[in-house]
């Protein structure tokens, strides 16, 4: 019996840790999330465990709190199409043609959207349309001044606040080896600022807004978190990050402090794409 128990422990697909690298149970994490205003759920976009836990956490928190959902994977100019689908006005096939859905939408994000639809939960398309982020990556923030009034409603108000010394943006330049120049992190900042802006727009007192985003947008309390705190310092924010390791039974030092809760996934876990 002892041998079987040890074997089962070794074959866990993931382990949960707190910010200090201490293991904790799913139930304890859930309890600590119930009194928050915003949950930034950082994922690896192709990680099956992260996507499964996103749905499970959302379902379980729905039993305890009134929710609003939001996601990086929907761009703000697709909000109308998303709302029509949630209201039952259009079918999935029409949503496919009207919105720019990610290729892994059917497996990874449709379950969340359909849960929102079934439970009449608002779902915010928080991201800036990608074409504007591409413009900033080439020409900096000033290119946004040339946009129409309508286009500017799909992003955070201009001018975009920006701190080039934030660790995430500095690391981005380091990872690119200088290629892409100083405008690359500005494009990231436009996304972060826009997601924060629409999170705050959709948040209401007394509700918990769960936001799904790539972990890089909220790791180390940076990115979206920085913009949220800048606009509302009293906001109670929790963060979850996803990491992948060969040995999941001890969190690697590089991941300690990455988020309030860290999903450490076995690196052999099957990806969704």
Residue 248 lies in a domain: no
Q: E strands, 11-149, where?
A: 14-18, 38-43, 67-75, 123-127
pLDDT digits (tens, 9 = 90+) for 193-223: 999 999 999 999 999 999 999 999 999 999 9
Q: Which domain covers residue 232, as residue numbers?
A: 42-208+218-240
Domain count, the chain: 1
- Is 267 within a domain? no
Neighbours of 147 (CB within 10 A): 15
Structural contact between residues 44 and 217, judged by C-beta atoms closer than 8 angstroms: no
Q: Tens of pLDDT along 140-191?
A: 999 999 999 999 999 999 999 999 999 999 989 888 776 668 899 999 999 9
Q: Answer whether 257's CB lies under 8 Å from 220's CB.
A: yes
Q: Residue 3 falls within a domain, yes or no?
A: no
DSSP 208: E
What is the distance between the terminal CA atoms of the chain, rounded to a whole angstrom?
37
In whole angstroms, give the CA distance from residue 71 to residue 105: 12
Least confident interval from 5-19, 30-44, 232-246, 256-270: 5-19
Q: Report yes or no on 249 lying in a domain.
A: no
This prediction has a pTM of 0.94
106 located within any domain: yes
204: in domain: yes
Classify 39 as helix, strand or coil: strand
Q: How far is the C-alpha of 32 from the C-alpha of 242, rounded, in Å? A: 18
Residue 4 within a domain = no
């Amino acid at each position: 019996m002892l041998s079987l128990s040890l074997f089962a422990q070794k074959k866990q697909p993931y382990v949960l840790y707190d910010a200090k690298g201490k293991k904790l149970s799913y139930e304890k994490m859930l309890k600590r999330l119930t009194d928050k205003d915003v949950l930034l759920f950082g994922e690896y976009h192709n990680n099956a465990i992260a996507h499964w836990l996103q749905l499970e956490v959302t379902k379980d928190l729905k039993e305890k709190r009134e929710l609003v959902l939001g996601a990086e994977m929907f761009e703000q100019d697709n909000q109308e199409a998303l709302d029509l689908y949630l209201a039952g006005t259009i079918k999935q096939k029409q949503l496919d043609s009207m919105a720019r859905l990610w290729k892994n939408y059917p497996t990874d994000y449709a379950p969340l959207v359909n849960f929102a639809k079934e439970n009449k939960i608002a779902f915010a398309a928080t991201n800036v349309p990608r074409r504007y982020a591409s413009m900033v990556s080439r020409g900096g923030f000033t290119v946004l001044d040339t946009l129409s009034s309508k286009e500017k409603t799909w992003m955070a108000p201009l001018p975009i606040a920006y701190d080039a010394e934030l660790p995430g943006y500095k690391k981005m330049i380091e990872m690119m080896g200088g290629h892409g120049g100083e405008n690359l992190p500005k494009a990231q900042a436009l996304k972060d600022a826009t997601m924060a802006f629409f999170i705050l727009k959709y948040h209401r007192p007394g509700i918990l807004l769960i936001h799904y985003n790539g972990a890089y947008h909220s790791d180390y309390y940076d990115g979206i978190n920085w913009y949220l705190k800048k606009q509302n310092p009293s906001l109670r924010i929790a963060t979850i990050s996803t990491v992948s390791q060969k040995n999941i039974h001890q969190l690697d030092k590089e991941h300690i402090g990455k988020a309030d809760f860290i999903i450490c996934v076995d690196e052999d876990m099957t990806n969704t794409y």
